[in-house]
Amino acid sequence: MTLHDDSSSTPRTSTDGWAKPVSKLSMGVAPTGAINLNVNGKHITGPLKGFGQLWQKTYSVRLAGSEIAPTDLIKVWKAEFPNFWPDGNRFYGAAGQIEPGDVALLNLSGPGGATISTGILVIYADAESFSFMTPQGHIFAGMITFSSHEDDGATVAQIQALVRASDPIYEMGCRVGIAHKSEDAFWHGTLRSLAARFGVNGIVQQRNSLIDPRMQWSAAGDVWHNAAVRTTLYAPVNAVQRLFTPG
């Protein structure tokens, strides 16, 4: 899975941990059974774009009793990242450890058992942290950073999300509590699974801060890229394809 750069072919990594700038995302053939939508040709959004209120959410779990060092935790987290996701959600990334410039396909569990097909770009990765940015159509326009540090003799794993709903439909889901509740449950489950990997029954802490309460009405048209809507409309096509696919 690679990046698409209109100017030239470039390595996926850079010496300082940052991904090379790109115009659009591109990835290869998805694994069997995966829904590959809403990634190819999409632009990266980030927290400055999008429609809804801008939130900073910090989730953390303390690995009390574990002797894992922060850098070793990050190494394992990058190498086994999909294994820590809650059931019903799939992360189809590049082989090996997460690296700057990787593009991953996501099949997320949506309301009513629906699947939302979207993706992420790894914009940064080093020995201490790694960060994702979302493309057009993702539930949230934003950046998510995964890190680890030591606090009072214990290693702490942390996820910090700086996000806003991508379009008015997603913002409605946030306002009624569905989108935020699902997002919180997702990352709580991820951190509990990560802690369990090191033999810890972790208790996840969460802090929320409303950074910008305003709507960005100039981004209202981004509803055209809504990955949930597009994946739902594609569902009958996908069902027919699976019915006539050998094996």
pLDDT in tens, 70-79: 999 999 999 9
d(CA 23, CA 44): 8
Which tokens hold the place of 58? 């910090």
- Banded pLDDT at 31 (limits 50, 70, 90): confident
pLDDT score for 6: 34
Looking at residue 246, what is its pLDDT?
56
- Please check whether residue 246 lies inside any domain of the structure: no
Q: Is residue 224 in a domain? A: no
Average pLDDT, the chain: 90
Is 223 domain-assigned?
A: no
Mean pLDDT of 204-208: 98
If you average pLDDT over residues 98-117, what whole number do you get? Answer: 92
Can you tell me the distance from the alpha carbon of 93 to that of 104, in angstroms, rounded to the nearest whole number? 4
In a domain, 222, yes or no: no
Domain span including residue 9: 3-216+229-234
- For 111-141, the pLDDT digits (tens) are 878 899 999 999 999 999 999 999 999 999 9
Instruction: Find out whether 23 and 4 touch, Cβ atoms under 8 Å.
Output: yes
**Residue-level pLDDT at 128:** 96
- Residue 4: pLDDT above 70? no
State both tokens at 61.
Answer: 């779990």
Q: How confident is the model at residue 240 (pLDDT cuts 50, 70, 90)?
A: very low
Identify which of 62, 61, 37 has the alpha carbon closest to the alpha carbon of residue 238.
37
pLDDT band at 95 (very low <50, low <70, confident <90, very high): confident
Instruction: Look at 218 and 242; give whichever has higher pLDDT.
Output: 218
What confidence tier does 14 reach under pLDDT thresholds 50, 70, 90? Answer: very low
pLDDT for the residue 236: 56
Band (pLDDT 50/70/90 cuts) for residue 247 is low
CATH code assigned at 99 = 3.30.530.20
Give CA torsion, residues 138, 187, 12, 42, to 10 deg: 0
Residue 18 lies in a domain: yes
How confident is the model at residue 9, as a pLDDT? 31
Report, as an integer, the average pLDDT of 83-92.
96
156 part of a folded domain: yes
Integer-rounded Cα radius of gyration of the chain: 18
The total domain count for the chain is 1
Lowest mean pLDDT segment, chosen from 29-38, 136-145, 158-167, 176-185: 29-38
Give every CB contact of residue 76 below 8 A, 6+ residues apart in sequence. 68, 197
